[in-house]
Structures are given as structure tokens and as C-alpha cells.
Structure 1
Amino acid sequence: MDRVKRVLIVEDDVHIAELLLMHLRDEGYAVEHAADGTVGLHMLDQGNWDALVLDLMLPGVDGLEICKRARAMARYTPIIITSARSSEVHRILGLELGADDYLAKPFSMLELVARVRALLRRTDAMARNARMDAGLLVRHGVSIDPLARSAMLDGKLLDLTPREFDLLYFFARNPDQVFSRLGLLNEVWGYQHDGYEHTVNTHINRLRNKIELNPAEPSRILTVWGRGYKFATGPDEENPS
């Protein structure tokens, strides 16, 4: 029997929190709630959560700081940010800090539930892929350990954020295939954040800075003009597909 998924809600609006608790529990999830950021951060650190629904404007520790600290934790927890801060800056900042999705208030509870469901499906799929790829996956000189969620280049451990690792791992599993920015958002972020494709550019630039000898003239992550990006196989490799 599958384990019941656990969802943590960090939300200071009592009415919204009650609705979230009701709808997510109706989906069969085990859901708990924290009404301020300090308590929420403690619960996140102590628990084994499958998803986090996180408000930005919180008493105590704010949502962006919680998101940042969550991404420094060993366990990767999918995060959906919900906030009345609907500006482009806050959306992009939340995604750049590692959030998986962003919903501006007011939002549909059915939409929120659908996005939680999509994130959990993506997380399960990535875990299955990691088990299937148990052992090192080597592409163009980069050695990737999907179970340990680590990567090495020239014998040195790469300092990757969880999202950078996900992006690198996805590229490595699909060498020489071209993906648009929206396609990468869907595959790696788990949802098509229409209008936020430039977050892909930012992550690719960061990844290039870590795995390319000359990021200005990359040999691994290539831009295919007008189409998107691809991860090139090495000169002595064959495309496994």
C-alpha cells in the first residue's frame, strides 16, 4: 500500500488555511498547518514532507527565507508559493530561490490542489528515474549520481542547487534532444509557468558557469537558436537514444 503523502501548509490567514486543509485532506493527503514562519520552518526541518504550500507574507520568518532555507536542506521538498504579492519580481524571485510553482492570491482551491497533485507526480517520477539509473550516469565528462543527487566534473564535486541538479540530470538523460524553455519548465519544474521562461535562462547560465570550461562558448549545454537548448554528447560518446 502506498504511503500517504504529507503536505505542510504555512499560512497566516486562518480562512485560507482552513480551506486548504479541507481540500487537500479531501484528496487523501495528511496535512498539517503552521500559522507563522518560525513555527513553519521548525516543522519543515523536523518533518518528512512531500510538499510545502507556502505563503510569502508571514509573521516571524518570511516565505522567501523559508524557501531559501528549505533548498539548503538535504531532503528536497516541492514548494508552491501562494501570495498576495502578485508582482513579476516576487514571482521570479520565488522561483529563483527554488520554489516549484507560484499562485497569486486570490486563487482557485481546485487549481491549487491540481498543482500539488502535479508536483507530487513529478517528484515520484524523478524518484523512479533515479532508481532506474542507479549507478553513475556519465555524459560529456560529467558524472551524475541520481540517488545521491550529486555530480562531479574532473574529479571535483559540483556545488549544485537542487534545481540545477534536476536540470543537469534531465539533460543528461536526454542527450542531443532539443527542448524549448517552456518544455524545460514543464519537465524540470513540473508545471508550465507561462511568462517565466527566463528563469530557465538563469539556471542554464548558472549551470554553464559550473560545468563549462568557457561558459561564453559552451560545449555541453548548447543553445539551438529559435528552438531551445540541448545537452551535447561528448566527442567519444554515442547518443544512447
Structure 2
Amino acid sequence: MRLLLAEDDALLADALSTQLRQAGFEVEHVENGAVAEYLLLRQSFDLAILDLGLPMLDGLSVLKRVHAAKPGFPILVLTALDDLESRVTTLNAGADDYLTKPFDFPELEARLRVLLRRAQTAQPAHGGGASSSTLGRLVLEPQARRASVAGEALELSPREWTLLELLSTQRDQVVTKEQINQAWSGEGDAAGAAGAGGGNSIEVYIHRLRRKLEGSGLSIRTVRGLGYLLETGDAARG
């Protein structure tokens, strides 16, 4: 049972991860909403626990985007917000359950298992989303981890693919170097994660991608002091 825990409170996340693993869950923890959205849309999980007050991208936005892409994917919202309006808004946005902090772990575990039973009796809806997507003349096939420009396949290393996919899913939004490093780490690229901390490493991969995207109708723009932005336009800038 693979579970994604999106929680920015480090102490709570550490304690909760330990309890969940002892209960038999395989836990992937992330600290911000941008990486949570990226992983939930591109990797296979059985369910998710989502805090609403996440940095970079708030939990409600993550919930709406994941629910739109994977309507049957079970998400339990865990939050300190206990007012009626927050509950109604969150449930209407696609949450399957809503639990307020503080909470007792046995209740959380019971609620998670209810969500799992519901998901198992329904058609699985968390297998990977759309089979392909098109941006300009770029075609991405997430399940096969392939990309092509005008019908010609791109030769991409694992880190190049992850970087391109992250930029495309966050198109027209700035992707920070922290998000890139976390995405590489989330892909299980231990060597990459260890060497990715320096900005120069990321810049090398950005440069390579710019060259490979020539003729795609897309460019990667450097937003100085913030990160990178994938946008329409043949000329790569920055």
C-alpha cells in the first residue's frame, strides 16, 4: 500500500511516517504542494494524505488538480482548519475524507483503510493519467517516459526526462531549483540527488534540454533568482 504524505510540519510528518510504516504502508513524504502534485500525477500511489497549508502550492490547489486528472484517486485531507466552510469547500473539491488536527492515529488508520476498500471495489483510477500530452510540437508519453518533437524521438537521460516532465506539468509557472532537486530525489536517482544540490548541475541539464527542444515551439526561460519557466516561443531565453 503505497501512500504519499504531503505535510510541511517536519515533526508531525516524521512521527506520522513512522506510525504509517508500522501499520504496513509504504510512505513517500514531501514537504510542499508542487512536488506533491508532480508525484501524484506521475507516479503510482494507492492513496494520499494531504495537508491544506502547504508551501509553494497550497493543498486545495493540489487536490483540485489531482482530482481533475484522476477522479477516483483517494485523498484524505489532514488539516488544522475545522470550520464548516473549509470542510465543505474541501469535500466539494474532491477530497474523499477530512480529518482535523489534533487527531488519534487509530482513527486516521481506520479512515485510510476505508478509503482503500472503496478504491479496491471501484475501477483503479491511479495508473498514470493520460497516455500522452502535446505542447507545441512536443509530445510527451509519461507512462513510457518518451518524448518526441515533430515525430522525431528525443534521446533523454533519466534526469533530463524528469526535468522536462516537471517543467511541462508546471508550464507557465516558475519551477524552482529546490523543486527540481526534490523531483530528481523522488525518482530514486540517488547519485543524481547527491550531485544535484549545486546550481551548476541543474544549469547543465537546462542547457541540454534547450538544445533538444529546438523546433518544438517551446523554450525554457531563466527567471533570475527564482528558477525556470517553460513557455511557448522558439527562442530559448535567459
TM-score, structure 2 length as denominator? 0.50
Deviations 1:188-227 (A, max 9, x none): xxxxxxxxxxxxxxxxxxxxxxxxxxxxxxxxxxxxxxxx
Structural mapping, 1:200-211, within 5 Å: none
Distance in 2 (alpha carbons) for counterparts of 1:74 and 1:111: 26
Counterpart residue identity of residue 45, structure 1:
L
| Paired-residue identity, % | 41
Counterpart residue identity of residue 9, structure 2:
D
Distance in 2 (alpha carbons) for counterparts of 1:55 and 1:109: 15
CA RMSD of aligned residues (A): 1.4
| 2:67 maps to 1:71 | yes
Query: Structure 2 vs 1, CA of residues 74 and 127 (structure 1 numbering), >3 Å: closer, same or farther?
Result: closer
| 2:20 maps to 1:46 | no
Structural mapping, 1:66-105, within 5 Å: 66-74=62-70, 76-105=72-101
Distance in 1 (alpha carbons) for counterparts of 2:70 and 2:111: 23
Instruction: Give the Å deviation of 1:27.
Output: 1.7
Distance in 1 (alpha carbons) for counterparts of 2:104 and 2:70: 32
8 Å contact from structure 1 (residues 12, 34) kept in 2: yes
Instruction: Give the Å deviation of 1:109.
Output: 1.4
Counterpart residue identity of residue 10, structure 1:
A
| 2:6 maps to 1:6 | no
Instruction: Give the Å deviation of 1:87.
Output: 0.8
List gaps (5 residues or longer) in structure 1.
Answer: 129-241
Runs of 4+ in 1 over 3 A off after TM superposition: none
Structural mapping, 1:136-151, within 5 Å: none
Distance in 1 (alpha carbons) for counterparts of 2:65 and 2:58: 11
Counterpart residue identity of residue 96, structure 1:
N
Instruction: Give the Å deviation of 1:33.
Output: 0.4
List gaps (5 residues or longer) in structure 2.
Answer: 125-238
Matched pairs, number? 124
Residue of structure 2 in register with 1:24 after alignment: 20
8 Å contact from structure 1 (residues 68, 97) kept in 2: yes
Distance in 2 (alpha carbons) for counterparts of 1:24 and 1:56: 20
8 Å contact from structure 1 (residues 37, 63) kept in 2: yes
Instruction: Give the Å deviation of 1:75.
Output: 6.3
**SS across alignment from 1:71:** helix
8 Å contact from structure 2 (residues 72, 119) kept in 1: no
Distance in 2 (alpha carbons) for counterparts of 1:21 and 1:39: 17
Deviations 1:95-149 (A, max 9, x none): 0001000011111111111111111011112249xxxxxxxxxxxxxxxxxxxxx
Distance in 2 (alpha carbons) for counterparts of 1:95 and 1:74: 15
8 Å contact from structure 1 (residues 23, 113) kept in 2: no
Please point out which of 100, 115, 126 is paired with 2:122. Answer: 126
Counterpart residue identity of residue 74, structure 2:
P
**SS across alignment from 1:9:** strand
Distance in 2 (alpha carbons) for counterparts of 1:68 and 1:8: 16
